[in-house]
Chains A and B, each alone.
Chain A
Amino acid sequence: MDVEVIKEQLHEYINTADEQHLSAIYLLIEDKLPDHIKIGNKQEVNNNELEQQFIALAEKWKDETGVYSTTYQKVINDSYLDIIALGREVVPFILKDMEHGQGHWHTALKALTRDNPVPETDLNKSTKIREAWLNWGRNKNLI
């Protein structure tokens, strides 16, 4: 899949995203994506390598943003956007992390899957966000 296709998909996502997530995705498209050709080369990366990339980025992200009290400050972070740029293959890794109680993955999962199982009324409830995505993952046989 080439970069242009990814960009087209992300633009499509923008049309359906709620406003809370537009800025993060906008940055991804306009700023980050041209420098992340690895999206287009992801077929050449095996699953173990991808998992290691995900773990390194995710731990760096949590270390850098755990102090913040708003989701926006957490997702406007290079490592978080780099995780999205790795592509949909990281979704099972994210879900596995969520299974162990970790959060703030909603924006990334929406961007990567272009799906959203979380009702608007539950967006301030970490537990319900996690449950909704884990159920989504189980239904898709991703976990």
Chain B
Amino acid sequence: MASLPLHTIKLNQANIKRHFPNLVPEGNFKYTSPHTDEYNCVAWASAIADEWIQFIYDEKGNYDINVRRYINYFAEIGFAPIDNSQPEKNILKIAIYADKSNDFTHVARQLPSGKWTSKIGDWEDIEHDTLDDIAGGAYGKPVTIMAQKININ
């Protein structure tokens, strides 16, 4: 008989199979943090580790998670659209994902190595080789790349 506390659900093999058809355990990604609901992917891409940043309702109170609202948010904090996801020195890039309805699903942040870091919902942070690694399932596909200048000494 099951008992409380609940079994901790993580990004396990079953969830990978269900949500991320391109993700290969011990292949194209690695775990880089424990699971946590202290922050989500939007916060993680914004370099914030203690908030769950989301935009769900518009100013009239209507449900609206269209990807443009998240593009607007990242524009407000200094990112601008760019036409490629290639790594560039002193340029921080993010990739915003959307589903077939163009609703926001996820945002990944590029690392200096050119690989990407993603906070997967309530689960772990992962480092993945390419943007396609987490596409094709729950997160749809990357629809916008944005960038901002940074100073790395």
Interface size class of A (residues with CB under 8 A): 20 to 34
Contact flag A125-B51 (CB < 8 Å), given A69-B42, A69-B105:
yes
**Min CB distance, B94 to chain A, in Å?**
14
The reply to whether B37 and A70 contact each other, CB–CB distance below 8 Å, is no
Given A66-B122, A104-B122, A124 and B53 touching (CB < 8 A)?
Answer: yes
A23/B138 in contact, CB under 8 A? no
Closest Cβ of chain A to B12, distance in Å, is 9
Q: How large is the interface on B (under 10, 10 to 19, 20 to 34, 35 or more residues)?
A: 35 or more
> For the complex, is B40 an interface residue (Cβ under 8 Å from A)?
yes
How would you classify the secondary structure of chain B's contact residues: helix, strand, loop or mixed?
A: loop
Contact of A68 with B121 in the complex, beta carbons under 8 Å: yes
- Please determine whether A55 and B52 come into contact, CB atoms closer than 8 angstroms: no
Q: Does A100 contact B (CB under 8 A)?
A: yes
Cβ-defined contact, B54 with A67, below 8 A:
no
Decide if B50 touches A70 in the complex (CB within 8 Å).
no
What residue in chain A is nearest B7 (Cβ atoms)? A59
Query: Of A1-9, A91-99, A108-116, A131-139, which binds chain B?
Result: A91-99
Asked if A102 and B5 sit within 8 Å, CB to CB, the answer is yes
Q: Which residues of B contact A22 (CB under 8 A)?
A: 61
Residue B123 interfacial (CB < 8 Å)? yes
- 6 nearest A-B pairs in the assembled complex, by CB-CB distance: A100-B5, A103-B37, A62-B9, A67-B121, A19-B61, A66-B122
User: Which residues of A are interface residues toward B (Cβ below 8 A)?
Assistant: 19-20, 22-23, 51-52, 55-56, 58-59, 62-63, 65-72, 93, 96-97, 99-100, 102-104, 124-127
